[in-house]
Amino acid sequence: MVTVSGRVTSKYDNAPVSGAIVSIGGYSTTSGPDGDFYIAVPPISTTITVSHGSFEPYSSRIDTSAATYVDIALNPKFTFL
């Protein structure tokens, strides 16, 4: 297993996003209050997905053949009244 770590932030204001669900190859974790996350996964090439109710979903290819750090900036969902 290798560790993928990173930080989830808002693309709007660069604020950390707490409670985002980060999934890689069937393994999942949740970002902490500072937006940081850590997840142990097997060394594979797969997709990382990030979801949070206040932001648009994120998805990208990732190679986890070695320990990896990923910065993820999510687009906020805006509601117009």
pTM score of the predicted model: 0.93
Question: Is 8 exposed, middle or buried (CB count within 10 Å of its CB: 0-12, 13-18, 19+)?
Answer: buried
- Helix H or strand E encompassing 32: none
Residue pair 76/54 in contact by the 8 Å Cβ criterion: yes
Domain boundaries, the chain: 2-74
> What are the structure tokens assigned to 14, written together?
């660069």
Along the 81 residues of the chain, how does pLDDT read in single tens digits?
Answer: 999 999 999 999 999 999 999 999 999 999 999 999 999 999 989 999 999 999 999 999 999 999 999 999 999 998 666
What three-state secondary structure class fits 33?
coil
Give the CA dihedral 68, 53, 32, 62, nearest 10 degrees: -10
What pLDDT, in 10s, does the model give residues 31-51?
999 999 999 999 989 999 999
What is the architecture of the domain spanning 2-74? Sandwich (2.60)
